[in-house]
């Protein structure tokens, strides 16, 4: 399916699910370029209070927060020619919710959409794609389950575990023994991990894709199962974190602070701390008392329960594993953090 077919299919699907009737502007209009950007299409939407024009970019597959931020940045640069609009085959509920947080309008070939402007708000989600629409493989429960994400995290952070026994994998990930084989079967069937070779070892077949899948699912599937608590400090995080050095044995830095330590470019405005021993109430109380932290649901300091049982080069430095830092940064939906995530990915994630 080419871009023109995708656009017309999405327009037709949204007409059914929402009653909105987009019209696609003639192809010549798409040649308008601004700041080096060429639109895939312009769509007009007639409403009782007037016509809205949207500038559209097509993406056959959208499965990463970083893609949404990049699309929005390009469309915002050309905003004078129309409201930003992403068109795709199928937008998952999680990705659509992130579009809403970013303020990025979207429609898909399944009829899902998020559209917001003055006097306009439409949200449709949860529709399945049509049978003949290409896209992602069918969702698999194992890859996005709490236990599966824990095991995959351990494998990505310590690739040598691909050759470990199932009991070793249970020890480092904390999942049930019966789940391990099922998860490996699924990873093999999707071409992400090889079957065992003659030496009983596996290897990654598509590590970048597995890393991105894990980072996208962490925030919505794994983290909600973890204990977390937010606090505020008497001073901005940019000043506070550099003084907060006495708890290194109890916590690991994640998110923006970890990125600042690793690459030195980002000025943190939020701080994420992972407990080193599950949910250590005693260590948290000491931290709160020493640094005069105040419980605050909207606070910029977040403490998160750890979910792994291994150490790597990062944890010995007082930092969370790089993949987790990467996921933390993407979850902030902040262009500063997304840029830092891209730099961290290039320098600190495995590229096998």
pLDDT, position 239: 83
pLDDT, position 143: 64
Q: What angle do CA 68, 16, 125 make, to 5 degrees?
A: 40
Q: Where exactly are the structural domains of the chain?
A: 3-124, 141-223, 226-348
Q: pLDDT tens, 4-14?
A: 778 888 998 89
How far, in Å, CA of 29 to CA of 242, rounded?
52
Average pLDDT over residues 338-343: 92
Instruction: Write the CATH number of the domain with boundaries 141-223.
Output: 1.10.10.10
Q: 0.85 exceeded by the pTM?
A: no
pLDDT, position 343: 92
Q: Select from 50, 55, 58 the least CA-distant residue to 120.
A: 50
- Classify residue 84 by its DSSP letter: E
Mean pLDDT of the chain: 85
pLDDT, position 220: 86
Q: What percent of the chain has pLDDT over 70?
A: 89
Residue 348 to residues 231, 316, 344, Cα–Cα distance (Å): 29, 15, 5
How far, in Å, CA of 113 to CA of 59, rounded?
14
Residue with tokens 């005693």: 282
- Contact 302/230 with Cβ under 8 angstroms? yes
Q: What angle do CA 43, 130, 99 make, to 5 degrees?
A: 50
Q: Which residues contact 326 (CB under 8 A, 6 or more apart)?
A: 211, 215, 341, 344, 345, 349
Give the torsion through C-alpha atoms of 66, 68, 71, 76, to 10 deg: -110
Choose the most confident range, by mean pLDDT, from 141-150, 171-180, 244-253, 299-308: 299-308
With cut-offs at 50, 70 and 90, classify the pLDDT of residue 32. very low
With cut-offs at 50, 70 and 90, classify the pLDDT of residue 178. confident
With cut-offs at 50, 70 and 90, classify the pLDDT of residue 226. very high
User: Which CATH architecture does the domain made up of 3-124 adopt?
Assistant: 3-Layer(aba) Sandwich (3.40)
Q: Select from 278, 277, 259 the least CA-distant residue to 268.
A: 259
Identify the three-state secondary structure at position 170. helix
3-state secondary structure 194-258: CCCCCCCCCCECCHHHHHHHHHHHHHHHHHHHCCEEEEECCCCHHHHHHHCCCCCCCEEEEHHHH
* Length of the chain in terms of residues written: 352
Q: Dig out the tokens for 346 from the structure.
A: 């290039």
């Amino acid at each position: 399916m080419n871009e023109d077919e995708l656009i017309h299919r999405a327009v037709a699907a949204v007409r059914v699910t929402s009653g909105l009737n987009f019209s696609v502007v003639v192809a010549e209009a798409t040649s308008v370029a601004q700041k080096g950007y060429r639109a895939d299409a312009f769509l007009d939407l007639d409403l009782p209070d007037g016509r809205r024009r949207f500038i559209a970019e097509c993406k056959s597959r959208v499965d990463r927060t970083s893609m949404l931020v990049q699309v929005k940045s390009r469309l915002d640069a050309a905003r004078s020619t129309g409201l930003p609009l992403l068109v795709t085959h199928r937008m998952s509920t999680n990705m659509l919710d992130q579009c809403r947080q970013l303020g990025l309008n979207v429609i898909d070939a399944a009829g899902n959409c998020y559209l917001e402007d003055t006097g306009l708000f439409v949200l449709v989600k949860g529709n399945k794609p049509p049978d003949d629409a290409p896209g992602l493989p069918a969702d698999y429960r194992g890859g996005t389950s709490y236990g599966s994400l824990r095991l995959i995290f351990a494998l990505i952070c310590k690739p040598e575990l691909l050759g470990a026994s199932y009991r070793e994998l249970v020890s480092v990930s904390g999942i049930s023994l019966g789940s391990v084989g099922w998860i490996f079967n699924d990873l093999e069937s999707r071409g992400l991990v090889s079957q065992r070779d003659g030496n009983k070892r596996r290897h990654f077949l598509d590590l970048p894709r597995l890393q991105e899948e894990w980072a996208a699912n962490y925030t919505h599937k794994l983290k909600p199962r973890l204990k977390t608590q937010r606090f505020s400090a008497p001073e901005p995080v940019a000043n506070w974190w550099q003084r907060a050095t006495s708890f290194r044995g109890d916590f690991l830095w994640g998110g923006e602070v970890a990125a600042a330590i690793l690459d030195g470019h980002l000025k943190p405005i939020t701080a994420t701390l992972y407990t080193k021993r599950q949910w250590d109430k005693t260590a948290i109380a000491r931290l709160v008392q020493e640094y005069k932290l105040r419980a605050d649901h909207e606070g910029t300091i977040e403490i998160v329960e750890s979910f792994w049982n291994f150490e790597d080069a990062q944890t010995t430095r007082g930092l969370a594993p790089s993949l987790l830092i990467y996921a933390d940064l993407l979850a902030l939906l902040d262009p500063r953090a997304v840029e830092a995530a891209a730099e961290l990915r290039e320098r600190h994630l495995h590229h096998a």
